[in-house]
Structure 1
Amino acid sequence: MTAKNYSRRDFIAKSSLLGAGIAVAPHVFSSTLAIGSKPAILGGRGIWADKQWPKWPRWVPETDEKKLLEVVRSGIWSRASVTAEFESEWARTLGAKRCLSVVNGTNALITALSQFHIGAGDEVIVPPYTFIASVTSVLLNGAMPVFVDIDPETFQIDPTKIEAKITSRTKAIMPVHILGLPVDMDRIMAIAKKYNLFVIEDACQAHLAEYNHKKVGTIGHAGCFSFQNSKNLPIGEGGAVVSNDDQFIDRCFSYHNLGIPYGTAVGTVSSGSVIMGTKVRFTEYQAAIGLAMLKRLDAETTTRNENAAYLSSLLQQIPGIVPYKLYDKVTRAAFHLYPFRFMKEAFGGLTRTSFIKAMRAEGVPCSSGYTLLTDKPYLNDAFQSAAFKAIYPPEMLDFDAYVAANRCPKNEQLCNEEAVWLTQNMLLGPRTDMDEIAGAISRIHKNAASIAKLHG
């Protein structure tokens, strides 16, 4: 590859993958650490005491309000031409043939599963490190979620562990590009082909992320997205299903519109429903907001990738901090969240809870992320329902046996001890913000023993 052909995007992808791909001048990092020696949790002044993080969502009245006001003033608020325009634009942006918008990402997943006829008696492979909607969408279709453990380096489902969980009931794999970091889709698709399984990508956190230069959500048989308020493409609420399968999207459209055939105008009451459906239609004003947000998404995604790569190059210098790793074929991440692992041994036994408390005292908001999904009462609530009891044999509904069979030790370690998140808006500021995040962590590391004495 010549210098001329080596694109900015390739540079971002490579540097994100390697972590150290961006050279860091030692004086830059060391100058950050000179911001007071005492952490805020021990009485020092917080690194972020006089600053604010970029607000989210962003709204620019001068550019964002024209179409929204036109929609509001038109009185046409239910699904019509603006929704169709948003769907066309989102499909074009992703490189997908078709898109259907719905009320939220959860219902996008429910719709996609249902229209691949995945339901009673079926099993769906899911990761345990995800938002609960990934799993409840399976349960709400009457199918059984089967958890496969993660690769803690990438935070993603571990493809090497999938085949051991496939049974005669398995109908689909739901890879979740959690945190906006793509799954190893080559291995997922190879397994799906081998066992004749559907692949439904949960890309709800992965807007514009790419695997081998293809947008995630367009690699499997269908992809699902969320436009909830915190997402990289925020609409407040909203979701979408994308696919290159016309018949599938036609069925999804019918399902989301009371079972009325695709092509029937919204509001028609005399055409008759052809399938059992629900009503999860998008609105015109949601679509108007989405079109406004979409104009900035690509540039914001580039900024997140650049800052994430730079931040990783700083954090990997701090003992006990292990930034995310991307798979070799990831050409762009979305970074809905920036994750790293916290190793308490390198912090003198300081607990993750106290580390997060110390970070927040510095003015750097962070969290421990997801808790376990594999052993919670919502599963047993589904198992004890009349519908599940009518479908599955008693041994499959034995909750204790299910929990034991679905234990995911790597995920437990990540959830209970290691994972730390920063939110996507924190990656939208200047590079100096990344210096100060790293400076806060390094200051806590240097004073870990003192913090542990007071806070555990």
Structure 2
Amino acid sequence: MIDTETGQLAIKGGPKSVTKTFPWPIYDETEVQAVANVVRSGQWGNPDCADEVARFEQAFAAYCGSKYAVTCVNGSVSLRLALIACGLRPGDEVIVPPYTFIATASVVLEINCVPVFVDIDPQTYNLDPACIEAAITEKTKAIVPVHFAGLPCDMDAILDIAQRHNLRVIEDAAHAHGAEYKGRKLGSIGDAGSFSFQSSKNLTSGEGGIVITNDDALYETMNSLRNVGRLPSGQWYDHFNPGCNYRITQLQAVLLSEQLKRLDEQTITRNENGLYLDSLLADIDGITPLSRGEVAILHCYHLYIFKYDKTKFGQVPKHEFVAMLAAEGVPCSAGYPHPLYKQPVFQQKNFMCYAIPESVDYTQVYCPEAERACADEAVWIFQQAMLGTQGDMESFAQAIRKIQLAL
């Protein structure tokens, strides 16, 4: 084994600390055969030939402990379906975190509502319940907590706030397939839970999404909206709601059904590796693993995130440290370069919406914890790397030590 704690950095021509690669997605002939069977059947579409889609929806709902599941083309649309079904109207406000993918807020704009950014907890990078109530107004109608990186939000605190203010809670669980909060699958705790099946996700079919709920009325509306406004009681050319064709195909459904069979084992592996990597990195001065909170959780580590302190690494900026770490062979990223409200769409108010008040001004928004995470602290290790061995986790830690010793 190479002594990765000494010697020249890989970015300067030295040997890599990590020589293994971590492919994604993981599949075998089972997935290939399932897709081939659908291709040979000639029944690729939905809803006319939706057997496989319905089977996957039922399986995923049961897996999450929910009554219903509605598949759709992606995780952005699944959020949009949930927001519309929850009764939001133009001009309503929706509380969202600033440390998340654009879709969490852009779908709010798409339905002519107003995203209100609330800062993150510096210990978890999830929406900070302590900051939510100050942002609630008479126009606030919903909270969208993002289980970022697969780490559960403080759902007890968020639900308590929502109940006291009569707000809907839509869980953005795009990173959180298989993760649990106090024994309950994420996505099943609020009014609805939205997931993505995009190619990087822990459960993937390349693209796709799903939304789960226990609410009969929400299910009926979301099911109608994703199927051009039809209702089961109506005819093919009866359209009762302003929906579109957001359906997935049979090909995606069989891929997801086979991938779902792998999810529990993969989630357990990621969780165990995350705990082990926490213990290794906690011993490195200047590296702080994110907190898992104080309640029982199962973390699915769509990302493993740690906080970087450049004062312990020769004042090297985060982006340079990440370049060194990537050169050592660790699959990693510096994450988002800035909080979501600094995107041009918000700064320039390119909303194309008629119901956003002129008084809304995102140039005045400042969330210090999100700013700090983006600019200076947050380092991501990708989910496929968390499917490695304990030896791989040790090599990640050794790579960080090697960099620190070289600076």
1:117 deviates by 1.8
Say which SS state the counterpart of residue 156 (structure 1) adopts.
coil
Instruction: Write the mapping of 1:357-376 to structure 2, written as runs, cut at 5 A.
Output: 357-370=323-336, 371-376=338-343
Contact 1:259 1:274 in 2 (8 A): yes
Say which SS state the counterpart of residue 223 (structure 1) adopts.
strand
Q: CA RMSD in A?
A: 1.5
Q: Matches of 1:165 and 1:36 in 2, distance apart?
A: 50
Among 62, 80, 88, the alignment partner of 1:118 is: 88
Change in Cα spacing, 1:447 to 1:94, as seen in structure 2 (3 Å) is same
Contact 1:359 1:366 in 2 (8 A): yes
1:143 deviates by 0.4
- In structure 1, what residue type is equivalent to 2:58? S
Q: Matches of 1:283 and 1:192 in 2, distance apart?
A: 36
Q: Which structure's CA Rg is the greater one?
A: 1
Change in Cα spacing, 1:40 to 1:143, as seen in structure 2 (3 Å) is same
Structure with the higher fraction of residues in helix conformation:
1
Instruction: Write the mapping of 1:355-434 to structure 2, written as runs, cut at 5 A.
Output: 355-370=321-336, 371-380=338-347, 385=352, 387-388=353-354, 391-396=355-360, 399=361, 402-404=362-364, 406-434=365-393
- Alignment deviations for residues 383-415 of structure 1 (CA, whole Å, 9 cap, x no partner): 553x33xx244223xx3xx331x3101100100
Contact 1:250 1:262 in 2 (8 A): no
Among 174, 177, 190, the alignment partner of 2:160 is: 190
Contact 1:121 1:144 in 2 (8 A): yes
1:59 matched residue in structure 2: 27
- In structure 2, what residue type is equivalent to 1:373? L
Q: Matches of 1:99 and 1:202 in 2, distance apart?
A: 15
Larger displacement relative to structure 2 (370-379 or 346-355): 370-379
2:63 matched residue in structure 1: 93
Q: Matches of 2:107 and 2:3 in 1, distance apart?
A: 46
Among 262, 281, 287, the alignment partner of 1:296 is: 262
1:43 deviates by 3.2
1:243 matched residue in structure 2: 213
Say which SS state the counterpart of residue 252 (structure 2) adopts.
helix
Instruction: Write the mapping of 1:199-214 to structure 2, written as runs, cut at 5 A.
Output: 199-214=169-184
Q: Matches of 2:319 and 2:15 in 1, distance apart?
A: 20
1:138 matched residue in structure 2: 108
Q: Matches of 1:34 and 1:152 in 2, distance apart?
A: 31
Change in Cα spacing, 1:34 to 1:137, as seen in structure 2 (3 Å) is closer
Contact 1:98 1:243 in 2 (8 A): yes
Q: Matches of 1:33 and 1:165 in 2, distance apart?
A: 51
5+ long unaligned stretches in structure 2:
none
Q: Does 1:351 align with 2:317?
A: yes
Contact 1:253 1:262 in 2 (8 A): no
Contact 2:109 2:351 in 1 (8 A): no
1:332 matched residue in structure 2: 298
5+ long unaligned stretches in structure 1:
1-30, 449-456
Q: Matches of 2:298 and 2:179 in 1, distance apart?
A: 5
Q: Matches of 2:351 and 2:136 in 1, distance apart?
A: 24
Change in Cα spacing, 1:422 to 1:314, as seen in structure 2 (3 Å) is same
Q: Matches of 2:178 and 2:331 in 1, distance apart?
A: 25
Q: Matches of 1:208 and 1:190 in 2, distance apart?
A: 24
1:380 deviates by 5.0
Contact 1:207 1:232 in 2 (8 A): yes
1:44 deviates by 1.8
Say which SS state the counterpart of residue 145 (structure 1) adopts.
strand
Contact 2:114 2:356 in 1 (8 A): no
Structure 2-normalised TM-score?
0.96
Change in Cα spacing, 1:75 to 1:180, as seen in structure 2 (3 Å) is same
1:17 matched residue in structure 2: none
Contact 1:139 1:382 in 2 (8 A): no
- Alignment deviations for residues 392-447 of structure 1 (CA, whole Å, 9 cap, x no partner): 44223xx3xx331x310110010011110000000111111111100000010111
- In structure 2, what residue type is equivalent to 1:374? Y
- Alignment deviations for residues 108-159 of structure 1 (CA, whole Å, 9 cap, x no partner): 0011101112131100000001011101111101100000001121011110
Paired residues, what number? 403
Identity percentage of aligned residues: 43
Change in Cα spacing, 1:53 to 1:263, as seen in structure 2 (3 Å) is farther
Q: Matches of 1:411 and 1:54 in 2, distance apart?
A: 29
Q: Matches of 1:123 and 1:421 in 2, distance apart?
A: 31
